[in-house]
Amino acid sequence: MKQKPRPYRGHKLGTEEWTEGWYACIDGTHWIEYENEECIGSEIIDPTTLGQSTLELDKTGVILFEDDVCSDLRGERWLVIYKKAAFWLENMSTKQRWLLDGSKVEKVGTMYDKAEVLYKGAPDRSAGGSDDDE
């Protein structure tokens, strides 16, 4: 059975475990609601890890989300970002941006992973967005 795309993901509060589904914020509590073959449920998430699905696949068929880290053929790292109503790949070293084309990159992690190689040159997104987020 093919899995339905989930529009958002976030870390379950207090863990580094991802949950994917539909996002809601009620009275300052951030939730991901999900549905699978076994149940319908929800998880409280850490809002600083909330990322939107691009509905774009990388070259291996993995769905890309905002804040994913990708690698191109040369080994350069690219961060998936959402700016000016579009998803972009932003080079983590040069800050050069290209409109997202997942077929040219492979997901290697997220900006929340512990591996130093993923953080090299990555912006600190935990403090909130910049003034050009829209």
Do the domain assignments include residue 128?
Answer: no
Q: Which of 98, 5, 97 is nearest to 55 (CA)?
A: 5
The reply to whether 39 and 92 lie within a common domain is: no
Q: Within a domain: residue 13?
A: yes
CATH classification at residue 82: 2.30.30.290
Nearest one of 72, 23, 71 to 44, comparing CA atoms: 23
Backbone angles phi, psi at 104, to 5 degrees: -105, 0
Assess whether 44 and 87 both reside in one domain. Answer: no
Q: What pLDDT, on a 0 to 100 scale, did the predictor assign at position 113?
A: 78
Rounded CA-CA distance 68/113 in Å is: 10
What is the residue type of 79? L
Q: Which domain holds residue 59?
A: 51-119
Residue 38 is given by DSSP the state S
113 within domain boundaries: yes
Taking the model in full, what pTM does it have?
0.78
Q: Which of 79, 88, 80, 93 is nearest to 121 (CA)?
A: 93
Spatial distance between the Cα atoms of 90 and 88, rounded to a whole number of angstroms: 6
Confidence of residue 5 (pLDDT cuts 50, 70, 90): low
State the residue for tokens 């993923």.
118
**Is the predicted pLDDT of residue 40 greater than 80, yes or no?**
yes
The total number of structural domains in the chain stands at: 2
In a domain, 100, yes or no: yes
pLDDT at 3 over 70: no
Q: In angstroms, rounded to a whole number, what is the distance separating the alpha carbons of residues 98 and 73?
A: 15
Domain-embedded: residue 42:
yes
| pLDDT above 70 coverage of the chain, percent | 80
How high is the pLDDT of residue 130?
A: 44
Cβ neighbours for 6, distance < 8 A, ≥ 6 positions apart: 20, 21, 22, 34, 53
Q: Give yes or no: residues 71 and 99 share one domain.
A: yes
Q: List the structure tokens of 94.
A: 């040069």
Q: Does the pLDDT value for residue 12 go beyond 50?
A: yes
pLDDT digits (tens, 9 = 90+) for 72-129: 999 999 999 999 999 999 999 999 999 999 999 999 999 887 655 455 544 454 444 4
What's the pLDDT tens digit per position in 18-29? 999 999 999 999
